[in-house]
Amino acid sequence: MSSADISSLRQNLPAEVDVLTEPEAMAPFLRDSAQVPDSVETEMPAAVIVPRSTEHVSTILAFAHEHEMPVSIWSAGTGLAGGALPYEGGLVIAMHKMNRILGIDADARLAVVEAGVIVEDLDAEARTHGLFYAPDPASSSRATVGGTIATNAGGLRCIAYGTTADHVAALTVVLADGSVIRTGGRTIKNATGLNLTQLFVGSEGTLGVITEATVWLTPVPQGEPETFLASFDDIEDAGRAVVKMVRSSADLEVLELLDATVVRWVEEDNQAGFPLPQAALIIGMAVGENAHRSIDIACECAEQEGAQEVRRQPGDGLMAARKLSLPALQKRAVWVQGDTGVPVPRLPELISRIEQIAAEEKHQVRIVAHVGDGNLHPMIEVVDGDWETAQHVTDRITAAAIELEGVISGEHGIGIYKHHELPMQFDEATMAAQHAVKKALDPKGILSPGRAI
């Protein structure tokens, strides 16, 4: 793509749209939060473009479609699968300036936002109306609503409220050729036509660019939160305790697990007040009028499965401490960040398989997990730059999860780093069906080619 072509695109956009072509100006938009090998060089796009409206995105994509330029979408750089990385000579559409909350309808429990709105900002605004936005990824202070919809982000509260997909009512999407479609609606029930809204949720920028979203809000529970933690000498016992808690009548909003080494690192860095377990620590929280009874039940389940220590306390301070685990890990090593999911009853088996694989490979694997919904993040250490071995261990763990009726990714998405694993989960016919959808909506293959699907 020549500088003359980019100048032509610039002329078709208003002055308020930044068109960045200098390497230094583009640099902040060329990476996401995935740790990558030194050998992976960031490709240099022709331009990074910062739209302010759906119409701007339409103009950009129509241009890219005409010139058959590959396009990647950058929202906030919090992705963990390499899905936002640029293409050589392509375009990067950076969505962070489309950041307006367009309206909150408290009676309908709906918010309409542009794609670049920060998740935490939407939640804060909703709380002024006695509501909140339930999706809570660990990066909520930086992640955008559009980016988390595109990856179907999860987070800590999924056990109670589900993933991002469960909170999307309608979308405005720009397709590859620049045409604009609107999906879904503002009603609780909608049996009209194909469910295109959910088609775009989790599509990772491969089918269209989400520019606006109508999302469901949830009433703030009455009463104060209450938390508990339980330490275990055997991590498989911790897994069995989780299964028992999820099966019980405990109404938990959060249920997390950290292995003993991760707990120790968090304590060394932050003095969070965690006990130091021999094997694993479970952390949970309940909110609402029945919070006290729910914590009673969860603690009973932990004790029945051999917890060495059980504590409970008011407030949600333990949840803030839980979010310190990733910084503690990244401070000490480079990791391939695993992201598998299994049905909750299969958790103890997957934990056992991970320990077995780590022992066989003589490789360090740490575990942090949203265990309440069966989503584990095995963290595979990269030793002396040996990414190949770390990826081999990752692939073995993914294969084990698939054998246990699980999935390749619970919440991070596929991006480029798990793309080679797709045949583990999908047969040829299923892959062909996904590619057919891609071909129909993006016939020239310009949107995030070679990623996600």
Band of residue 380 on the pLDDT scale cut at 50, 70, 90? very high
Per the listing, tokens 């963990």 go with 80
Query: So what's the architecture of 3-94 in CATH?
Result: 2-Layer Sandwich (3.30)
Give the per-residue pLDDT at 320.
82
Nearest to 394 by CA among 81, 137, 90, 185: 81
For 68, the token pair is 């058959």
**DSSP count for the chain of H helices, then E strands:** 16, 19
Give the per-residue pLDDT at 3.
58
Q: Are 378 and 418 in contact (CB under 8 A)?
A: no
Cα gap 128→123, rounded to integer Å: 9
CATH (one of 3.30.465.10, 3.40.50.10860, 3.40.50.720, 1.10.3720.10) for 101-219: 3.30.465.10
Sign (positive/negative) of CA torsion 87, 91, 96, 100?
negative
Contacts for 383 with CB less than 8 Å, ≥ 6 apart: 363, 364, 389, 390
Band of residue 201 on the pLDDT scale cut at 50, 70, 90? very high
Give the per-residue pLDDT at 116.
98
394-413 per-position pLDDT tens digit: 999 999 999 999 999 999 99
Cα gap 11→17, rounded to integer Å: 10
**Cα Rg of the chain, angstroms:** 22
Give the per-residue pLDDT at 34.
83
Cα gap 95→26, rounded to integer Å: 14
DSSP state of 101: E
Give the per-residue pLDDT at 323.
84
Residue 190 has pLDDT above 70, yes or no: yes
Cα gap 364→393, rounded to integer Å: 10
In a 13 Å sphere around the CA of 42, the CA atoms on its Cβ side amount to 21
Q: Which residues make beta-bridge pairs with 214?
A: 112, 170
Q: Are 184 and 233 in contact (CB under 8 A)?
A: no
Torsion of CA 11, 16, 19, 22, to 10 degrees: 120
Give the per-residue pLDDT at 43.
85
Amino acid making up residue 150? A
Residue 105 has pLDDT above 60, yes or no: yes
Are domains 226-324 and 326-414 of this chain identical in fold?
Answer: yes
Q: Which residues make beta-bridge pairs with 282?
A: 230, 257
DSSP state of 144: B
Band of residue 138 on the pLDDT scale cut at 50, 70, 90? confident
Give the per-residue pLDDT at 317.
84
Residue 235 has pLDDT above 60, yes or no: yes
Contacts for 240 with CB less than 8 Å, ≥ 6 apart: 305, 348
Band of residue 5 on the pLDDT scale cut at 50, 70, 90? confident
The residue ranges of every structural domain in the chain are: 3-94, 101-219, 226-324, 326-414
Cα gap 406→444, rounded to integer Å: 33
Cα gap 71→94, rounded to integer Å: 11
Band of residue 270 on the pLDDT scale cut at 50, 70, 90? very high
61-90 per-position pLDDT tens digit: 999 999 999 999 999 999 989 999 999 999
Cα gap 363→391, rounded to integer Å: 11
Q: Are 270 and 324 in contact (CB under 8 A)?
A: yes
The length of the chain, given as a count of residues? 453
Q: Are 239 and 348 in contact (CB under 8 A)?
A: yes
- The widest CA-to-CA distance across the chain, in whole angstroms, is 71
Fold of 226-324: Alpha-Beta Plaits (3.30.70)
CATH (one of 3.40.50.720, 3.40.50.2020, 3.90.1150.10, 3.30.70.2740) for 326-414: 3.30.70.2740
